[in-house]
Amino acid sequence: MESYIQFTNQSQGRDRILRATQYACALANYLLRNEPSRKELLMKLRSLESNMSSGRKLFRLGNTVNSIEAIKRTLLLSDPILRCCLTVSNISRALYFICDNVLWARSLGLVQSIDKERWRLNATRYYFVSLVMSLTRDMYVMAQLMVQRSRDQQLQQKLHQHLNENPDVACVVVPQLDAFVFLLIECLKSNPAIALDTIKNLCDLFIPLDRLGICETNAGVVGFCGLLSSLLGILSVLKPHLKIKP
């Protein structure tokens, strides 16, 4: 099982590269949509985007097993908030991958008697729930870090110095708000993994929001957010210390 999980983890790295290419094509398509002279290029970009999407579905075939293993690990967490957020997130991810695998089989003609749109909608819903729970975990971890840092004597001295050096800001803005923002920035600077994961999840959130019609944007916004989150995902693979734990 461990060797299988290791193999699928390597596939996830390739998936992130394909994902970045897919959304880069989507963004380029949107930016060049009104250029008649680029008609041939647009066709090639759409074809490449479709190929990247198909390739990603192939790489994601083993991700359901990864999600199930992740559920087993998160159920053992001592913190009840983290345990709840991460377990629900991983269950939703597992259900999303199951729907995705069925849709992949449907596209190959291996499965015929399914409602393609219904399965796609369910997959998007599970993806949305997974992202919401992941963001909740990010906010919770960030709040814990801020509480811990607020007790740090050196940081308190730095905060007082900041308020004294910026009297205008402290007078115009509510002092508590100014202190909160200062503390938040300090926590994010000292914990780049949580900052990166939060930005990545926020970018990803626009994709299901648009597909579900909750917050309709356009292909350009979706392409940009997908590309940015993919690049951040690649960065977390290249720099393991930037991957949030647990």
| Cα–Cα distance measured from residue 75 to residue 73, given in angstroms and rounded to the nearest whole number | 5
pLDDT number for residue 76: 94
Task: Find out whether the peptide bond into 246 is cis, omega within 30 degrees of 0.
Answer: yes
Residue 172 has a pLDDT of: 46
Which residues in the chain show pLDDT less than 70?
A: 1-11, 152-178
Domain ranges of the chain: 2-151+191-242
State residue 3's pLDDT score: 52
Distance CA 39, CA 46 (A): 11
pTM of the model: 0.86
pLDDT of residue 241: 86
